[in-house]
């Protein structure tokens, strides 16, 4: 069975204190006081009963950290009997000080005050019962000693509590920082996933449509097929450039070719690319254009990009897409609609890209609506709130 080291240390301490107290009990008996010319004052000669009481007063020190208040009460009983029987307690009173210190340093305030009160009352009872009379100065010294020991114990208790609170606070801050770090990493992963999807899905969709068109006209019109293949090459290079920029930002050992993020100013080029891919697309701008916050500018561009990509993939042959930007005071309205007659169900028109668009719009406090239009076709619309002056 494993023995608690704290209990072992307290037991050894109690044994040493008891041995020293018994030695002092016999050493400073009435004969020694007479030899030194000091008044005996009715002190009783040391005997086996007195030694047993001294040992009993020191024994509770062994449990001073497990049961401090109970040990104090148990130790004060033999001390009181020593005083009542007229023995010279020797160093047995040290056990009472040790136990009072343990109560003050390890218990709560109520237990500590109770221990001090019990010690003072027990000392007063012993002083009243003993045949050995002491002056008031000696009583004052003992009371001050008890109060000092109690104060030192309480100070240590408060210091330990303060240090424990600091450790707990540091632990809470560390856990909060770790949680914030995890949340930031999750948000960054979501942002990177959105960017990669917007880049890859758009360009790959355009390349897929152009490759299908080139395959259909390869035997009939080689020149038109060559133009489609050139468009595929150009789109692939754009995709590689954008992906290289994203990966370059992520890698710390490589310098990214930094450039401005796309925005509504780049919509004409985007629509031209969609027209080359076979989707007729028109752009309407209503209201007075004004500078947009960078985040809203990028979100609006990605929304149009994703909406046109979905129209290209699902609207069917002969469909036309219309992009409408409406600038209002305090709001930007972005709408992408097509008149497609494709047979894809609406649920199939809302994949990971539109989920990413929903996250972007929510990030800037916007309102997003996605669904089929009345009379046919599909619509993706978002309204972004803008602060005054934007």
Q: Which of 343, 235, 323 is nearest to 283 (CA)?
A: 323
**pLDDT 10s digits, 22-53:** 887 777 665 554 444 444 555 677 788 888 88
C-alpha span between 173 and 177 (Å, rounded): 6
In sequence order, the 6+-apart residues with CB closer than 8 A to the CB of 237 are: none
Neighbours of 95 (CB within 10 A): 29
At 277-320, the pLDDT tens digits run 888 999 999 988 888 888 889 889 989 988 888 888 888 888 89
Q: Which of the following CATH numbers is that of domain 277-390: 3.30.565.10, 2.30.30.20, 1.25.10.10, 3.60.20.10?
A: 3.30.565.10
- What is the domain partition of the chain in residue ranges? 5-134, 277-390
pLDDT tens-digit series, residues 61-108? 888 888 888 888 888 888 888 877 777 655 567 888 888 888 888 878
**pLDDT over 90 percentage in the chain:** 11
Which range in 137-146, 239-248, 261-270 is most confidently predicted, on average pLDDT? 261-270
- pLDDT for residue 383: 94
Cβ atoms of 115 and 72 within 8 Å: the answer is yes
Query: Do 324 and 284 form a contact (C-beta atoms < 8 A)?
Result: yes
């Amino acid at each position: 069975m494993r023995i608690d080291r704290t209990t072992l240390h307290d037991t050894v301490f109690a044994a040493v204190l008891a041995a020293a107290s018994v030695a002092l009990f016999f050493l400073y008996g009435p004969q020694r006081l007479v030899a030194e010319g000091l008044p005996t004052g009715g002190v009783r000669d040391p005997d086996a009963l007195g030694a047993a009481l001294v040992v009993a007063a020191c024994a509770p020190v062994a449990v001073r950290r497990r049961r401090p208040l109970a040990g104090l009460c148990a130790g004060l009983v033999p001390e009181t009997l020593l005083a009542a029987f007229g023995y010279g307690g020797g160093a047995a009173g040290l056990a009472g000080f040790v136990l009072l210190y343990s109560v003050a340093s390890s218990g709560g305030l109520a237990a500590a005050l109770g221990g001090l009160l019990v010690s003072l009352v027990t000392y007063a009872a012993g002083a009243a019962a003993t045949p050995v009379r002491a002056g008031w100065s000696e009583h004052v010294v003992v009371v001050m000693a008890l109060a000092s020991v109690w104060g030192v114990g309480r100070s240590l208790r408060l210091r330990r509590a303060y240090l424990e609170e600091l450790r707990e606070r540091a632990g809470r801050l560390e856990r909060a920082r770790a949680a914030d770090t995890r949340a930031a990493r999750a948000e960054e992963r979501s942002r990177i996933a959105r960017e990669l999807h917007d880049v890859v899905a758009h360009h790959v969709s355009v390349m897929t449509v152009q490759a299908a068109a080139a395959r259909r006209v390869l035997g009939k019109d080689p020149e038109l097929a060559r133009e489609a293949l050139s468009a595929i090459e150009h789109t692939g290079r754009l995709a590689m450039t954008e992906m290289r920029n994203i990966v370059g930002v992520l890698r710390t050992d490589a310098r990214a070719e930094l450039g401005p993020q796309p925005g509504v100013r780049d919509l004409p080029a985007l629509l031209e690319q969609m027209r080359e891919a076979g989707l007729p697309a028109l752009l309407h701008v209503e209201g007075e254009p004004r500078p947009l916050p960078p985040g809203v500018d990028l979100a609006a561009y990605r929304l149009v990009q994703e909406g046109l990509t979905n129209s290209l993939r699902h609207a069917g042959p002969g469909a036309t897409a219309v992009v409408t930007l409406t600038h209002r005071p305090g709001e930007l309205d972005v709408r992408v609609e097509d008149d497609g007659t494709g047979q894809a169900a609406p649920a199939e028109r809302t994949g990971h890209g539109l989920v990413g668009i929903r996250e972007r719009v929510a990030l800037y406090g916007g309102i997003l609506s996605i669904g089929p239009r009345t009379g046919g076709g599909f619509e993706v619309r978002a309204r972004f709130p803008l602060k005054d002056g934007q």
